[in-house]
C-alpha cells in the first residue's frame, strides 16, 4: 500500500481547520510539516460551529472526536419551527461515530482550534504565526517557496489551506470567483436556555434564525438576513441590531432577543461560496478546504469537507509514488462530493430567500444523508 518514495516535507499555508488537520494527517504518515499562518497569534473569533456526522467521523479518524465531544455539546436532533412559532418536524441526523455517541456536536471555535493545534504540535508540526507565502516556484518533484519574513524553503509539497480568499490560489494561477448569495449571517454567543438540547431552526416571514448549544452553559444564536447588500456595521451596534431582527419571530425566539442584546460576542458575515473548477493542483502544489470549495454555512458542513480533505490527501499520497499523482488522485476523489455540497448550499440559500422553508429543510436533510456516505 505504501508506494510513496520521495522526500516528505510540506509547507502548509493557513492554520485553519483544513491546514491543521492536513498537517496532523500528513505528520502521522512521516511528513515533516511547517505551517505559515498569517494571523499573528492563535486567537480565533469566538463564535461557535456545528460539527455534523462527517466532521466527527473524520475527527474520530484522527482520534479527536472525543475531545470535541468533551469540550462541546453532543446532539442528535434538529427541530424545525414554522413561521407561527409551532414546531413542525424533527430530523434525526445519522450517527456516524456509533450509536452510543452523538450525531453532531456544537463547539466554540476557539476550543476546536485549541484541540487541532495541540494535536498538530503533538505530531511535530511547526506552526509559524504572522507568516505568509510570497512566491511559489514549482520545480520538478520539488517546490521553492518564499516567505514574508524573507526566508525560503525547498519542500516536496505546498498545500494552500488559506480559506475562501486564498492567496495561494492566485500564486498558482488559479482563478475562481467568490460569489455573494444576497444574505448576511449573524452569530451571537448567549447562555444556553434549558430547552436547547438540540439544534432549533426557526422559519421567519423574512429571515431565518436558529439556536445551537455549544456547551452545558453556552449556545449561539444564528440569523440569516435575506436580500441585503454586503457591508459592515459598527461592532457597537451589532448586538442591538440582531436583537431587533429577532423580535419579529414568534414563540421561543422571543426569549433569545434579550439574551442577544446582552451578548458581548456578535458577528455578521456575508454568505459566500467559491468552487475551483478543474484541477486543484499544479504539480506538487495543491489547494484544500475553503480555498478549493467553500459552501454557504446553511449545511454546517464546510469544516467537514476541510477535515476530510486532510485525511484523503494523506491517504492518496501513501497510495501513489509521487506527490503529483497523489495530489491528482486526491482531487479526483474529492471534487464531486465538494461540488455537490457547494451547489446544494446555493440552492438552500435561494429557497430560504424565496421563503420556501419546507423545501429547504428537505434539501438539507437529503444532503446530510448524501454526506453520510464515506468521503
Ligand atoms: C458564518 C459561518 C458559519 C459557519 N458554520 C459552520 C458550521 O457550523 N459547521 C461547519 O462545518 N462549517 C461551518 N462554516 C464553514 C467553515 O467555517 C469553513 O468551511 C472552514 O472553516 C474552512 O476551513 P479552512 O481551514 O479551509 O479555512 P479557514 O477556516 O478560513 O482558515 C484559513 C486560515 O488561513 C489563514 N490565512 C488566510 N490567508 C492566509 C495567507 N495569505 N497566508 C497565511 N495564512 C492565511 C487564516 O488566518 C486562517 O487561519 C461556517 C462558515 C461561516 C462563514
Determine which residue's CA is closest to atom 20 belonging to ligand 1: 303
CA of 84 to the centre of ligand 1 (A): 34
CB 310 within 8 A of CB 21: yes
- Give residue-wise pLDDT tens across range 32-81: 999 999 999 887 766 899 999 999 999 999 999 999 999 999 999 999 99
CA of 163 to the centre of ligand 1 (A): 5
Q: What is the pLDDT of residue 6?
A: 74
Q: What is the pLDDT of residue 231?
A: 87
Atom of ligand 1 nearest to the CA of 14: 34
CA distance 165 to 259: 33
Determine which residue's CA is closest to atom 37 belonging to ligand 1: 162
CA of 15 to the centre of ligand 1 (A): 9
Rg from Cα positions in the chain: 21
Query: In the chain, where are the structural domains located?
Result: 9-45+109-178+273-371
Q: What is the pLDDT of residue 46?
A: 63
Q: What is the pLDDT of residue 140?
A: 86
- Give residue-wise pLDDT tens across range 2-21: 787 778 999 999 999 999 99
Q: What is the pLDDT of residue 3?
A: 80
CA of 374 to the centre of ligand 1 (A): 22
Closest to 315 (Cα-Cα) out of 112, 62, 98, 91: 62
- pTM > 0.95: yes
Q: What is the pLDDT of residue 1?
A: 60
Domain spanning 9-45+109-178+273-371: CATH superfamily = FAD/NAD(P)-binding domain (3.50.50.60)
Lining residues, ligand 1, CB within 6 Å: 13-19, 36-39, 49-50, 55, 132, 161-163, 167, 185, 187, 269, 289-291, 297, 300-304, 306
Residue with cell 427541530: 79
**Which of 11, 12, 14 for a ligand 1 pocket mutation test, highest count of atoms within 8 Å of Cβ?**
14
Q: What is the pLDDT of residue 45?
A: 66
Mean pLDDT score across all residues of the chain: 95
CB 133 within 8 A of CB 168: yes
CA of 187 to the centre of ligand 1 (A): 15
Q: Which residues of the chain have pLDDT under 70?
A: 1, 45-46
Amino acid at each position: 500500500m505504501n508506494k510513496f518514495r520521495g522526500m516528505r516535507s510540506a509547507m502548509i499555508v493557513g492554520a485553519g481547520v483544513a491546514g491543521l488537520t492536513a498537517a496532523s494527517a500528513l505528520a502521522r504518515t512521516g511528513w515533516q510539516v511547517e505551517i505559515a499562518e498569517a494571523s499573528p497569534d492563535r486567537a480565533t473569533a469566538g463564535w461557535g460551529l456545528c460539527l455534523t456526522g462527517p466532521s466527527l467521523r473524520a475527527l474520530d479518524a484522527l482520534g479527536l472526536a472525543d475531545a470535541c465531544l468533551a469540550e462541546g455539546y453532543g446532539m442528535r436532533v434538529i427541530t424545525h419551527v414554522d413561521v407561527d412559532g409551532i414546531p413542525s418536524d424533527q430530523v434525526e441526523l445519522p450517527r456516524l461515530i456509533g450509536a452510543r455517541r452523538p450525531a453532531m456536536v456544537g463547539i466554540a471555535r476557539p476550543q476546536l482550534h485549541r484541540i487541532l493545534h495541540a494535536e498538530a504540535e503533538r505530531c511535530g508540526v511547526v506552526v509559524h504565526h504572522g507568516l505568509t507565502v510570497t512566491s511559489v516556484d514549482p520545480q520538478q518533484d520539488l517546490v521553492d517557496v518564499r516567505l514574508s519574513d524573507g526566508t525560503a524553503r525547498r519542500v516536496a509539497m505546498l498545500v494552500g489551506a488559506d480559506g475562501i480568499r486564498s492567496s495561494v490560489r492566485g500564486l498558482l494561477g488559479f482563478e475562481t470567483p467568490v460569489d455573494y448569495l444576497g444574505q448576511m449571517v449573524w452569530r451571537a454567543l448567549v447562555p444556553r436556555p434549558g430547552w436547547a438540547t438540540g439544534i432549533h431552526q426557526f422559519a421567519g416571514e423574512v429571515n431565518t434564525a436558529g439556536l445551537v448549544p455549544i456547551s452545558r452553559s453556552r449556545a449561539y444564536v444564528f440569523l440569516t438576513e435575506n436580500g441585503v447588500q454586503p457591508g459592515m456595521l459598527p461592532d457597537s451596534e451589532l448586538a442591538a441590531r440582531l436583537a431587533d431582527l429577532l423580535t419579529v419571530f414568534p414563540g421561543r425566539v422571543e426569549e433569545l432577543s434579550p439574551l442577544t442584546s446582552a451578548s458581548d460576542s456578535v458577528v455578521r458575515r456575508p454568505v459566500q461560496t467559491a468552487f475551483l473548477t478543474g484541477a486543484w493542483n499544479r504539480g506538487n502544489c495543491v489547494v484544500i478546504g475553503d480555498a478549493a470549495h467553500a459552501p454557504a454555512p446553511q449545511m454546517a458542513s464546510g469544516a467537514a469537507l476541510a477535515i476530510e480533505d486532510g485525511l484523503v490527501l494523506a491517504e492518496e499520497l501513501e497510495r501513489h509514488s509521487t506527490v503529483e499523482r497523489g495530489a491528482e488522485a486526491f482531487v479526483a476523489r474529492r471534487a464531486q462530493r465538494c461540488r455537490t455540497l457547494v451547489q446544494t448550499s446555493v440552492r438552500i440559500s435561494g429557497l430560504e430567500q424565496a421563503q420556501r422553508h419546507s423545501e429547504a429543510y428537505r434539501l438539507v436533510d437529503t444532503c446530510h444523508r448524501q454526506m453520510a456516505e464515506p468521503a
